[in-house]
Structure 1
Amino acid sequence: MGEQRAQGPRTTWADQVSEERRRLLAEVGDDLWGIELLRFAIQQAVAELAGLGGMAHLGSPGHGGGLRLVVTSGLPPVFTHAWERVDGNDALAPARAFRDAAFVRVSMAHAVPQQGAATPGTRFWPAGAVMTAVPLLGPGGPIGALSIVTASSYEPSPGQRAFLDTLGRWAGERLSKVSAPPPGCGLAGGQSRSTGSHLSQNLETVGTWDWDIRTGDVIWNDAMLALFRIEPGTFDGRIETWTALVHPDDLPWVLADIDEAIRAGRMHSTEYRVCRMDGTPAWVRARGQLLVDENGDPARMVGTLWDITKTHDDLEAVAGQPAGHTERAAVERSSRIKQLTRALAEAVTVRDVVDASAEHILPAFGAAGLLVTFLEGDHLRPVGFTGYSEEFVERVSRIPAGGGLPIAQTLRERTPMFINSVEEYIERYPTTADLPAAGGKKAWAFLPLVASGRPVGSCVVSFAEPRQFTGEERNLLLTLSGLVAQAMERARLYDREHTRAQELQRGLLPRGLPDLPAVTAAARYLPAGKDMEVGGDWYDIIPLSADRVALVIGDVMGHGVAEAATMARLRTAVHTLADLELPPDELLSHLNDLVSDLGDDFYATCLYLVYDATTRSCVVTRAGHPPPAVVHPDGTVHFPDADPNPPLGAATPPFDTVRIELPEGSLLVLYTDGLVESSALDVDQGIADLAKALGDAVPGIPPGAPCPHQDGDAPAPHCARCLESLCDGLTATLLPGRQGTADDDAALLVVRTHALPSDDMATWPLPEHPKAAGQAREHVRAQLRAWHLDDLSMTTELLASELVGNVVRHAKGPIHLRLLRTDVLTCEVSDGSLTTPRIRRAAETDEGGRGLQLVAAISHRWGTRYTESGKCIWTEQPLHPSPDGS
């Protein structure tokens, strides 16, 4: 009972809506015809069934009596491409409706043309999607079919079925009525304009044709080829090529007239517009005589065709219109709409959609302004505009949606609105009567942007002068708004995901490069430019003890969120292993184990480099990664000679290492393969291009020269802005115009190295004797006095004494003490033992075990690293107060 009560009101409401739509059909004037007539019929049918979109097919004369797709609305091209030709004997919904002249419903699981069965479009539809089709009925029978795709499998109500039947007859009768368009469209009416017109005919372009109806083959004479501007020998002799040259607005009724002539056995005679191969428009008159075979069935049609453009120009001249203006404007508008459709299909972002709309819609209608907005809360948010000032758009955006704005009303009611003059605007919207003068426009088309049944925004097409919108213009603008809405919704989704992807990538990469005494650095991450722009490339600069720096760059194979997550795991692992002060080859061995544990499908390349400012040397280890570029101060470029180890996940340790000595002010350039390799560029050539780009750029900032970005005489090697400019120059030189760049990320890390001055280092050997602690305190006291760091003397003496005492008691020599002065004071004690000191909890009765606790308490940082001869225990104390005052 409850279910029946729930369904009853729904059916009654649907039938009431259907009745209102039938009344609407009676009000449609004669200015709606051809393509716009069919598009209007589709829109009404889709709205009636709350569908996803629709198609209109017309009977294709000859060779099987199949159907040809002439117009679609709301459906993606990847789907409709498979429906361009439908066999008249097929079981598909349009074919059955056309063949049986009956209402048809078919599940989308079975509604796929044979030639499109494997197309991606068949996967777009939800379970239960249905295609409904009704015939387009003319006086002599079906001339085509109207099809609607719905996401719901619910049966239409009786009122909805009755409306669709009425709609099919209404559209079919209107198409069948015309051998020419209705008055006012510039086409000769009916048969009244014969070849015997008192206006002169240009008969020099008369052609003859012979069409085999069964096979679709056409034979043309030379005059036909000349008329259509087709080069001899290039015409394929197919009827489809001929009909493709017919103006899109005229094609529906031209096909209907041919079909009716074949069915009725009468003469085919009509005038229509064509778009010739060179893009110029023309009027033609076609006359054809039907020939039948021995059984009386239609077999061929032969006839003549000639150019009557001059006749129409003369008629328009008599009427006081510019010769050929109507035809040329119509053809130009049709061309621009095709370009708009193509541009919207290629548009990715909301900005792309707005730019495409402005570029193609405004010239097509002679408009002066475009404004696209989204409704957010109580206000409209402009997302793109042209022809308006920023001050005007900002003012409109501050007005509440309910504050008398027609653009907001259009969005709420989902109904287009056309205002022809300023006076009409003021009369209808007196509360915002000052806006026309502020915006500088005098006529407006306010269009709702509705996608998938949901309003997404509003669009305003405005004009500099008052304008009377014709029925064709209204229908065309409304149709274009549907295209823009679909593109806008897709672009909004992309922008949303793109923003999330950028936030994710920013969170995974370093937020900023550290400011370190040993290096000055700049970096770039260049996303692949497709999908969500998230990839597996990363870079890092990790400060180590004793003024050493680890430089890391890597690339997880692949592109996407999974690769970005793997990159984040590897970057975290590198930080953890670097904090343990592991040598580069040992660090990559651990990293290789981590990648191997991820599975057989995970691989990554990595380059790990440790630079020591005290010795001006660096140790490089790489796993499947391109070599770093080393640029000496004189501009020479070198690449370390070493074969790369296999990528992480495929390598077998140990990893080979290379040690490089660097002059003061050298450049280290680390990069991923996206910078030097593409589908059209070999990696060796890419590295050669990088070397040349570096050689050309680096002499521009020689060491010791004053930097143009800093005041005074600060040398260029210490200027980060110089390196930022170098990064921009390298990416601009290496990336533009390269095929395949959009398929791979690219990361670039440019580092200028600085040596630690000898005045900031002090080293002493110590004896393996208890008196070594006292000597260490004396060395520390004297050196800190020379460095004017007496306030750190007591703490540093205590640290050095504890560290040396531990070595004398628990390790072995030789013992060395070293002090380093940079932005921190580093105190190091090295020995020949490989034992690692650890802090332990000492009991109250223990005599020892508290030394490292004291070291950790009074130093800012401390740690242990292994050396070639043993180990080194180090401590750090800041030379300047930290921001928090500690």
Structure 2
Amino acid sequence: MVDPAADALSLPEDWPAHPDLSLSLNRMGSFDWDLDAGLMHMDEVALAVFDMDPAEYDGRPESLGRRVPPSESVRLDGMVAQALKNGSTHYGTYFRIRTRDGGLRWTHTQGFIRRDGNGRPHRIIGIVRDATQELAESASRREVDVERRRQTSVVESTTAALAHARTVQDVIDVLKDSHGLEHLGATSVVMGLLEAGRIHLVADGPEGSFVPGTRYTRVDENYPMSEVVRTLAPRFIESPEDFAGSYPLLWPHITHLGITAAAYLPLIAQARPIGALGLLYSDKNGFTPDERNVLVALGSSIAQSLQRAMLFEQEHDLAEGLQQAMLPRRIPDIPGAQVAVRYRAARLGRDIGGDWYDVIPLPGGRVGAVIGDVQGHDTHAAAVMGQLRIVLRAYAAEGHTPATVMARASVFLRELDTDRFATCTYMEVDLATGVVQVVRAGHVDPLLRDADGDCRRLPVPGALPLGLSAEFGALDYPVSVLELDPGQTLVLYTDGLVEQPGTDLDEGMQWLTALVRNGPADLRLLADQLCEVVDERGGDDDVAILLLRRRGGHAPQAGGRLRQHVAQNDPEALRSARHMIRAAVRAWGGQERSDEIELAADELITNALLHTDGGAIVTLRMLTGHERRLRVEVEDRSSALPRRRDADPSGLSGRGLLLVDRMADVWGVESRGGGKCVWCEFTLPDRSGEAREIRRDIGPVGPGNETGSRRWRS
């Protein structure tokens, strides 16, 4: 009787073998794909199957893409997506990879799908292995059946791969990588397109096979592609002698390729030739009837896909040209600011959208920055965008406040008799003071990047999109005021940059904020990086980007102006107006009189809000002349003129105009249409910073009394 203990002592120490060792010795690699994180771990054997160095792999499935031909990638993605969708727990398939030396070899993969309690897939664990030898042995055992299936399925497989081709280059890539053409045994593929009576060679292979002088050939020349285009009939060359005798101009240049047969097919779409396709063979003699039928059908399928791709490129180029024509041809140089703009059309579909940007120079060292998006993705959206951009620019240039610019643009869009609306953000930036007035109409919030690179979202109060606000009579657009310090950058963009399928807007905003924070400091490089991300991601929405950075050392200009509307019962607007006044006084060098100016302006605003039925419009401007004077204007809709009166010692009113009279150098009232404007002026120190001496009178002053330097005017 055998002692089990003694028998166990005779076994190897590593018995039984660990599963990892078993997989490795049999050239089977493993992977673990985290679907939530988008990361895929590949062990060394798995990477070796893909002929990839571990140092080249960054843990993302997309990095394996260069090893998988496009046609195979489409098939693999479709199979995995179907398994995830239909509730499967397993999948498996054979596919080909391209090795470092350019060759193709078969690989097999199978995976197990792990799902959570709700059935949602979140992880795939599987293996990959080299299946070249396995398929070779299988093919040798079933050579006849495989050959028959190969001939009958080539059109279907190639057509399926061509269904995803959108451009001519996509069609060329499919033909070069299509396993159907490889099954036919073709050594190389050549393709030419018919252009103005000439055939333009757009694809040739393999490397070194191009014949000089054949990039463009006439249809009436003695070349095989010219012949099939003229006759609209395929040409099958069954021997080297046939080739040499039929085409003596071409044959001497390709004898080194060892060509023994060739098939040239006319590419016909809608009963007219659009080009020709040539398949060259180095180990074939003659074509069977079945092979000829397969090739003719293949040519028809390729022709349809090629025509579709050509039409797509033509329409997309036309649409993108229209879009570019609607955008500003150039961005003007803005003293005191650096600006970078970009536009990227959608990578999916041929239609264009209504995304736009604009930079508007305004008087007094100010600049308007606009970003917007008209609803829809078609030429009508682009046409509406062009009209809206022009009128919004005109309203801003006329000197209207940001809120009025938005309201008028909304009314204009409503009167266009279109069913489209538009989201928009308009900013008026005073580059001397750094004061920014922002109006948002249903658009995404802008970002602000600091000089040190930190970036944050600016939650700006907004109103309805343009067109809708006029439709519902909600034309009161709130104005937000913020300060832009030298070196800070405003980041404006359309929603195509942050909206992605499967994620909400907040996630997109967080992603963009991190991208801008870690992006290059140079504004143009940052804009380019954002566009590169858009190009890599693709998508079905256009993207417009506008970056504006305030430069340091920009001196304020005479004639500069800031304006803010303050509605009744709107404390936020009143705070914004005070913020604007404080920032303007500081930037214009009026720190020594800032308390007086702020107090006087506050009194005028308060009087307008308390003693009139409507709101007030506050305007600050620098006046030209031999001395620097800051003027504060407060407009309201009441025609009743204010009067200065002595305050009751026990009362709370009557002191407003008295304070203005004491603090301002001069003040007065002007009638303006349906209302009036109460104004006051203050002399500021000169630009060297030396305070200008101002005579201060404390005696009583009033209408007609011009005692000292302070006067009242009406």
TM-score (norm 1): 0.46
Check 1:524–1:815 CA distance in 2 against 1; reply closer, same or farther (3 A cut).
closer
Q: How does 1:391-790 map to 2 (within 5 A)?
A: 392=211, 395-437=213-255, 441-465=259-283, 467-599=285-417, 601-651=419-469, 652-697=474-519, 700-701=520-521, 722-733=522-533, 736=536, 742-758=539-555
**Does the Cα contact within 8 Å between 1:379 and 1:397 map onto a contact in 2?**
no
**Does the Cα contact within 8 Å between 1:817 and 1:829 map onto a contact in 2?**
no
Residue 636 of structure 1 deviates from its aligned partner by 2.6
Residue 517 of structure 1 deviates from its aligned partner by 2.3
* Structure 1 runs not aligned, ≥5 long: 1-233, 235-277, 280-315, 702-721, 765-812, 821-826, 835-865, 872-886
* Structure 2 runs not aligned, ≥5 long: 1-87, 89-107, 110-136, 561-619, 636-675, 682-714
**Does the Cα contact within 8 Å between 1:604 and 1:648 map onto a contact in 2?**
yes
Counterpart Cα distance in 2 of 1:870 and 1:389:
83
Counterpart Cα distance in 2 of 1:693 and 1:417:
56
Residue 734 of structure 1 deviates from its aligned partner by 6.8
Counterpart Cα distance in 1 of 2:626 and 2:231:
78
Residue 624 of structure 1 deviates from its aligned partner by 0.5
Residue 509 of structure 1 deviates from its aligned partner by 1.6
Check 1:637–1:596 CA distance in 2 against 1; reply closer, same or farther (3 A cut).
same
Matching residue of 2:187 = 368
Q: Alignment identity in percent?
A: 31
Structure 1 counterpart of 2:539, one-letter code: A
- Deviation string, structure 1 residues 37-94 (Cα, Å, up to 9, x no partner): xxxxxxxxxxxxxxxxxxxxxxxxxxxxxxxxxxxxxxxxxxxxxxxxxxxxxxxxxx
Counterpart Cα distance in 2 of 1:445 and 1:525:
45
Residue 490 of structure 1 deviates from its aligned partner by 1.8
**Does the Cα contact within 8 Å between 1:443 and 1:463 map onto a contact in 2?**
yes
1:356 aligned to 162, 174, 177, which one?
174
Counterpart Cα distance in 1 of 2:678 and 2:308:
60
Secondary structure of the 2:364 match is coil
Counterpart Cα distance in 1 of 2:621 and 2:464:
38
Check 1:724–1:532 CA distance in 2 against 1; reply closer, same or farther (3 A cut).
same
Counterpart Cα distance in 1 of 2:399 and 2:384:
23
Counterpart Cα distance in 1 of 2:459 and 2:401:
20
**Does the Cα contact within 8 Å between 1:524 and 1:747 map onto a contact in 2?**
yes
**Does the Cα contact within 8 Å between 2:154 and 2:181 map onto a contact in 1?**
no
Secondary structure of the 2:199 match is strand
**Does the Cα contact within 8 Å between 1:547 and 1:614 map onto a contact in 2?**
yes
**Does the Cα contact within 8 Å between 2:151 and 2:291 map onto a contact in 1?**
no
**How many residues are aligned here?**
445
1:817 aligned to 624, 637, 641, which one?
624
Counterpart Cα distance in 1 of 2:302 and 2:441:
49
| More deviation, 663-672/329-338 | 329-338
Counterpart Cα distance in 1 of 2:208 and 2:626:
64
Secondary structure of the 1:692 match is helix
Structure 1 counterpart of 2:551, one-letter code: H
Residue 415 of structure 1 deviates from its aligned partner by 0.9
**Does the Cα contact within 8 Å between 2:189 and 2:205 map onto a contact in 1?**
yes
Structure 1 counterpart of 2:500, one-letter code: S
**Higher RCO, 1 or 2 (CA under 8 Å, sep at least 6)?**
2
**Does the Cα contact within 8 Å between 1:449 and 1:485 map onto a contact in 2?**
yes
**Does the Cα contact within 8 Å between 2:336 and 2:552 map onto a contact in 1?**
yes
Counterpart Cα distance in 1 of 2:162 and 2:362:
52
**Does the Cα contact within 8 Å between 1:633 and 1:665 map onto a contact in 2?**
yes
Residue 735 of structure 1 deviates from its aligned partner by 7.5
Q: How does 1:240-255 map to 2 (within 5 A)?
A: none
Secondary structure of the 1:503 match is helix
Give 4+ residue runs of structure 1 displaced > 4 Å after superposition: 332-336, 388-391, 438-442, 731-737, 760-764, 827-834, 866-871
Secondary structure of the 1:395 match is coil
Counterpart Cα distance in 2 of 1:453 and 1:597:
47
Counterpart Cα distance in 2 of 1:723 and 1:667:
9
**Does the Cα contact within 8 Å between 2:201 and 2:216 map onto a contact in 1?**
no
Counterpart Cα distance in 1 of 2:680 and 2:257:
79
Counterpart Cα distance in 2 of 1:545 and 1:389:
63
**Does the Cα contact within 8 Å between 2:355 and 2:372 map onto a contact in 1?**
yes
Q: How does 1:67-466 map to 2 (within 5 A)?
A: 322-332=140-150, 334=152, 336-360=154-178, 361-387=180-206, 389=208, 392=211, 395-437=213-255, 441-465=259-283
Secondary structure of the 1:642 match is coil
Structure 1 counterpart of 2:506, one-letter code: D
Structure 2 counterpart of 1:749, one-letter code: L
**Does the Cα contact within 8 Å between 1:378 and 1:401 map onto a contact in 2?**
yes
Q: How does 1:48-67 map to 2 (within 5 A)?
A: none
**Does the Cα contact within 8 Å between 2:362 and 2:368 map onto a contact in 1?**
yes
TM-score (norm 2): 0.57
Counterpart Cα distance in 2 of 1:647 and 1:432:
64
Check 1:584–1:324 CA distance in 2 against 1; reply closer, same or farther (3 A cut).
same
Residue 598 of structure 1 deviates from its aligned partner by 2.7
Q: How does 1:4-23 map to 2 (within 5 A)?
A: none
Matching residue of 1:98 = none
Residue 497 of structure 1 deviates from its aligned partner by 1.0
**Does the Cα contact within 8 Å between 1:448 and 1:455 map onto a contact in 2?**
yes
Task: Tell me which structure has the larger Cα radius of gyration.
Answer: 1
Residue 683 of structure 1 deviates from its aligned partner by 1.2
Residue 558 of structure 1 deviates from its aligned partner by 1.4
Structure 1 counterpart of 2:491, one-letter code: V
- Deviation string, structure 1 residues 6-28 (Cα, Å, up to 9, x no partner): xxxxxxxxxxxxxxxxxxxxxxx
Counterpart Cα distance in 1 of 2:532 and 2:194:
39
**Does the Cα contact within 8 Å between 2:428 and 2:438 map onto a contact in 1?**
yes
Structure 2 counterpart of 1:666, one-letter code: Q
Check 1:442–1:497 CA distance in 2 against 1; reply closer, same or farther (3 A cut).
same
Check 1:447–1:594 CA distance in 2 against 1; reply closer, same or farther (3 A cut).
same
Check 1:731–1:397 CA distance in 2 against 1; reply closer, same or farther (3 A cut).
closer
Structure 1 counterpart of 2:398, one-letter code: L
Residue 438 of structure 1 deviates from its aligned partner by 7.5
**Does the Cα contact within 8 Å between 2:263 and 2:280 map onto a contact in 1?**
yes
Structure 2 counterpart of 1:729, one-letter code: Q
Secondary structure of the 2:324 match is helix
- Deviation string, structure 1 residues 777-810 (Cα, Å, up to 9, x no partner): xxxxxxxxxxxxxxxxxxxxxxxxxxxxxxxxxx
**Does the Cα contact within 8 Å between 1:640 and 1:658 map onto a contact in 2?**
no
Counterpart Cα distance in 2 of 1:629 and 1:595:
27
Secondary structure of the 1:399 match is strand
Matching residue of 2:60 = none
**Does the Cα contact within 8 Å between 1:362 and 1:369 map onto a contact in 2?**
no
Residue 421 of structure 1 deviates from its aligned partner by 3.4
**Does the Cα contact within 8 Å between 1:693 and 1:733 map onto a contact in 2?**
no
Check 1:420–1:527 CA distance in 2 against 1; reply closer, same or farther (3 A cut).
same
Counterpart Cα distance in 2 of 1:579 and 1:334:
68
Check 1:443–1:867 CA distance in 2 against 1; reply closer, same or farther (3 A cut).
farther
